[in-house]
Amino acid sequence: MQQFAFAITDNFFPNALEGEIQAEHEEAAKAKIKSMYAQELDTEEKDIEVLTLYKV
């Protein structure tokens, strides 16, 4: 597992949310982030935009 730092935004929440997540690779990290925050923000995964994503 790799550790990734990220910042996201969505269509309804204009401020970026930041955090860290563990995943096998970058695409898996993006999928986990979108799934997790879509549930948390009660929105659609397609509305979540990953602004930054990098290994830490």
Domain range summary for the chain, segments of one domain joined by + = 2-55
Give the Cα separation of 25 and 17 in Å (integer): 21
- C-beta separation of 30 from 22 below 8 A: no
Amino acid 40: pLDDT = 85
Q: Stretch 17-28: mean pLDDT, rounded?
A: 95
Global confidence as pTM: 0.85
Query: Could you give the CA distance from residue 7 to residue 18 in angstroms, rounded to a whole number?
Result: 4
2-55: CATH architecture: Roll (3.10)
* pLDDT tens figures, 38-48: 898 888 899 89
The pLDDT of residue 27 is 96
Q: Let me know: does 54 contact 5? Beta carbons within 8 Å.
A: yes
Mean pLDDT within 32-38: 93
